[in-house]
Every structure is written in structure tokens, then in C-alpha cells.
Structure 1
């Protein structure tokens, strides 16, 4: 029987939802190209280490606060505060998380809309609707508005269905589909000319690149890849049963995220060098591997065009993969403001979801109309400033403000002997001192 506010009914449901939140577009196109540009396997090794040295402890802070409070981000941080000043800053941090999650979703939905359009374009071509196919592949305001609306509507439908029937059900369907598509595409791409060159760039370490800049880049990728700082994992933690061991679940989420990011590299880098073999430019004028939207919307479609009839089906599979990755992340972001609306404003979920979703879509529409001036601004404010500062604040709440005996009592639920484990000997002081310093270092480096 589910809890009144919703609860994950199984470990698998939580793991798929949390991993889905972490595995998004940035993981699939960001991690592989960062690795290739920063010494290949040297970056991969640094990333793997920092995922557990930085991301896992910060993830544990969010999960533990969330399950203890069983509330949205604002109420959760206020509940562990022990005075009027800390409660004020708890509320401020909580509202900051809601605003940043909403802002990220507002531009994320636009990029996801591009993925929806490119998924639909091969179908239009197959059925001979060339005008529709051309419209879907164009970068027009009306196309972007319609595709963003479709994607936002899908996200709202899932969230409106609740935790068990929405988030958990769809995550357990979408994540295995994502993994299967990813593996099938890897198997196909590795048979193409040029693929082995991409594998070599990705997997062969170049320790000449092993510099402080590489470590900072790997640190930032590790932190941001787990959707930390904006309360998504805190909210998911609040839907967890008290019988579950948080350290084990947190470690599994980190492993799944790292595993999928690494596996994505086995697709993206070989695909880029296959595209180069086919005559497509994969380096910018500065000699840097093309990454981000240009990679997904220019380099890889050019590769699919060279594959003949097979290219149509590869394109469909690839953009289906991208849409799934977008959707599993977007539902976690929308849940942050929706949970606040349900619990603080007493609005039923089926009403709160479209209200919040339409407000965020309104922001997305404004960005689309004034794309050149607003898109990068929204990305910078939310991911370069908002996310790391909120991550530092959450570590401070878990490490300095929350009473240690309450923290231990929460972790003992589902892990009775945790007081005698290596985790408890290291994590409390680590999240108090080391994590904030590491996040601050990555933040200063990215800003400066």
C-alpha cells in the first residue's frame, strides 16, 4: 500500500528513476567529448575517481535529508534547521533549488524538443512527406514552440500520474529501453570504418593532459552528471522506504550513472570518427572536437545521411535514445516545483502539474522568441552559478546544521550497523569539509 504522498514500491523503481534523472543529454554528448579532449582514458580514470570522491557523498546528503524529512526541498531544509537563521536560509536554499530546477527545465525542454523533431523527421521522409520532413529539420520558431510543447506535455503527463504510476512506472520502462538502444547502436557503429580510431582516442590514456584543468573538468562533470544541487535527488529520497540502506542505494545510483556515461562514450566517439571517415568535419576551427548541440544536430545527422537506407533506421534509434534520456531527466526536474506546490500550497497533483508545467513552458517560449540573448544566459545562471552554489549549501546543511545524532538515526534505518562502518567514519566530516571545498573549486574554475 503506497504512502499518501507517494513512495517508490521497489529498489529497482527508485534506481531507474534516480539513474534516469542523472542520465540526460549532457551525459550522452558531454562526457565522451570531454574525455576525448582531455587525454581519453586519463579523463575517464579521473572522472571515475571523482564520481565517488565528490558526487557520491553529495548525493548521500540529498538522499538522507529527503528521506528524513519526507517533504519538498523547502520544508526538508527547514525541518533539519535548529534556529530561526538556519530555517530562513533553509527556506531560501529550498526556493533557490525550485527556481534553478525550473530554469534548467525551461531550456532543457527546448533542446529535448529538437530531439523530438529529429526523431519524427525520418518517419516523415519514409512516408514521403518531404515538406513536413524539411520543416522538422529546420530551426524555426514555430517548430521549436510546437516540439517543446509536445515534450513538455509528455513530461506533465508522467508527473501528473504520481510517484508509483508516473515516475516509477515510466522510469522502469524507459531506462531499460535506453540501455538496449545504446548497446544496439554501439554494436552497429563499431562495425563501420573509422570506429576503431574513435575507440583509441577514447580509451587510450594520454597523461600529458593530466593537469589541474583535467581534474577540474572531471570534477564538474562528476558533480553535474548526478543532477545534484537542485533537489531532484532530495525529492526522490523523500519517496524512499525507511527500510532501504541509503549508502548502498546511493552507491548503486552512482555506479549506474557512471556506467551509462562510460558506455555512451563507446557510441559517441567511434560515431564521430566514422563521420570523419565519411567526410564530415568533427573538429572546430580551433581544433577542438565538436560537442553539444552541434554534435547531435549536425555531425551525427551528416553521418546518418551517408549510410543510405540503413541511416534512416540508425537515425530513428539514435534520436529515440536522446528523447528517452531527455524525458527521464525532465520528469525529475518538474517534480521539484510540483512537490512544493502540492505540499506547501495544498494544490492536488493533477492540477499542480499542468499549472507548474505551463508556467515553465511560458519561460521556454520566451527563450525561444529571444533565443540568442536568453538561451546561454539561462544555461549560465542555472548550471554555472545556481547548481554549484546550491550544492555547497546542501553539504553545509547536511554537515554543519543537521544534528549529528538525527543524521545517524536516519542512516541507521535500513542499515542498523552503519555506526561501525567505514562510511560513517569518513562521510560526516567529508561532506562537511571536503565536498564544499571541491565544489567551490570547480565553481571558481568554471566562472574564472
Structure 2
């Protein structure tokens, strides 16, 4: 087991990893930008070091600075959190070259599953259903030919995309040329890779993901599934575990497909396989080779600390429990609390004047906020995750409504009221909502 881990991230996830390390008796090293000198993770870690300016490329994406601190502090591993460098195969290779363990899968697996057209091919070889799609599109002419073959509407995707970037829905041939150029430019600027491909765009679908855990001996355990269909501009807002209105037969098929894919690619540690679900059919979207923001809802239902097991399996430990040991009898819901204007959803900043976090059995708030903390304008707008768990879905909805009504954050505009709208929405309450629900509620 590692005796010291550097956390190459900030905010809520850095705090989450530090807490897990403390419980495991592992020393922690935090890195931070000049804008984060007063951040909570800086004060919680055993050691903290500034690695650069406020811009991401100067600090949290500065591979050389992070590696230098890790080596100078004699850290044995680096936890990348989510986002940032968490799915960067180049960083994984550099860690290995310097004798450091990046807590995640190998660089080779990251590369394979991070390039979406390659991931599709691997999924097909593992017998996992995929939507009709194309190879990499060389030019707009090829895009038109493929769109005619697949049938409109289609969706253009950046090969190295993620986080809702590098995606455009195209409904008619007239829209295709402009969308093709936009996606290529966005892909180049966001991911330094302008390769894009095309898939059939499925409407009125659910976005369901499966949480996997795998060790170095090839053992794979499914920790549960999550419904992530409440999205605005491809950004998840609410997640719940397990996914409602999913039949036992379909769930079993998705778990079996996820296990096959995990074994096919030789995956180790924590990962998530995302699917689109339409009726009784499901289609592979992508595999996230990292810890997910929404891992917390699965923890609440299963009682398994996903971050701790991510660290254990990365260190080479075997999974000590069986699939039958994973508890699935509860229901959990997570609302992402973001710093944004409630009218136009623009990101907001400010100083936390007052913070009251709801409590009670089955209520959890994962955050790096504290009173007098100044929310900087340079990073992701998520302030925290409010999570509740109950024995039934109806009970979880009632508990979330209670927790949201109790939650108080003064000084920074946030989206608490937006979440209340969803908890009162009939379609959400019934559970048969799909990815179009935001257009109907907001």
C-alpha cells in the first residue's frame, strides 16, 4: 500500500480523496494554484505546495510541476481526481517513467478508451451494442456521405472529447458543413485533437451508466448503475442510483456487457461505462477511465467506499468481496450545487457569507466550501454535491426536497431553486424522464 499520495486536483474531489487517505492512514500532499491558497484541500493535506498561476495550464495541468512535487515529497502515487489530468495518457506515461503510480488504469487503456472510435471498436469486439456510426471523418464530403448512410439526425463527436465539449447534433444536410467545422475547431482547442466521427443521434433516451471495480487479477465487480439523464447542454445536474424504470432483464444485460468490456480491455481500478437506453435496448456511449463526480450516490446505496477501493486496487490489492455482497436495496439521489445565476445560468463568484449544510440520516454534502471562502472565477462552477439516501425512491425524493429546503448558501448565487423544480416535477417523480427533461422543466 502507498504511504504517501499526491492529489493532483482541487475543490470537492481533492477534499474527498484526502478524507479517504486519512481513513486509510496514508499521508497526503496537496498542490494548488495562486488562486487556491486559501482552499480547503490545501489546509487538510499533510503537505501543500503552490505549483503555478491561476490558469489551469500553469498549475493543475502543469505535468512537470506536479511530477516535481511528487518526487521531491517522496510520494508513491498520484490521485488525479476527475477532470484535469485524470484521463490523460501522456501524464500516465510520465508517472510510470518516474516510478510513480497514477491511481487509475494504464496509459494504454486510457488511450484506447479515450479515443472514442477505438472504444467503439473494442466494444463491438466484446459483444457490446453500439449505435450506427462512422470512422474518423476526413472532410465534410465524407461527413455528408456517412450521414446519408446512417440517416438523420446524427451527432458529431470529437474523438478525444468529454465534459459535453466537441459535440453537435445535426438534423438536416444544410446544418452539416457548419457543424463539422465548429466541432473540429472546438476539438482542436479543447483537446489538441481535431479528429471527429459521427453516430446516429437517438432521441428520447435515458443516459445510464454502470460503475465497475476491477483488480489486477481480472476480477470485476459491478457496484451499481446510475441514471444521469438530467442534463443541461450535456452537463449532468442530477444523478440517481439505481436508475428508475430499468427492468431486471435489461439491467442484467447491461451488467454482463460492462463486465465483458472491462475484461476485454484489461481494465484495473474504478471506471464507468456509459450507455444510452431506449425502450428495451441499450447502446455503448463511452468508458470513463477515472472516478466520476457522481460516484457518491453509488457509495450511499452500496455502502462501499469507491475512492478507497480505487486506491487499493491501484496498489495491487485484490477485491475482497463478491458481486453478491454488493447491497442494492436503497435509493440515492445527488444534486450538483453550482455557482450560477438562477435566471440565465451564467457562472457566478463571490464570498460565502453564510453556509448551512443539511443533516440527518442518509444526508451528505461533499464540498470544499466554508464560511468566508472566496469562490474564484477561474475553474469549474460546481460548489458541491448534495446527496441523500433512503430505502425507496419516493423516500429519497422527499428527503432531497427536505435537504434542499434546509440548505443555505449566502453570498454566491447558486442553483438550489432549480433542483427544487425537478423534485416537484411529475415526470421526474414518476421516473420515466429522459435526456430532454431539462428543456421541459427549465
TM-score normalised by L of structure 2: 0.26
Higher relative contact order by CA 8 Å / sep ≥ 6: 1 or 2? 1
* The structure with more strand, counted as a fraction of residues: 2
* The structure with more helix, counted as a fraction of residues: 1
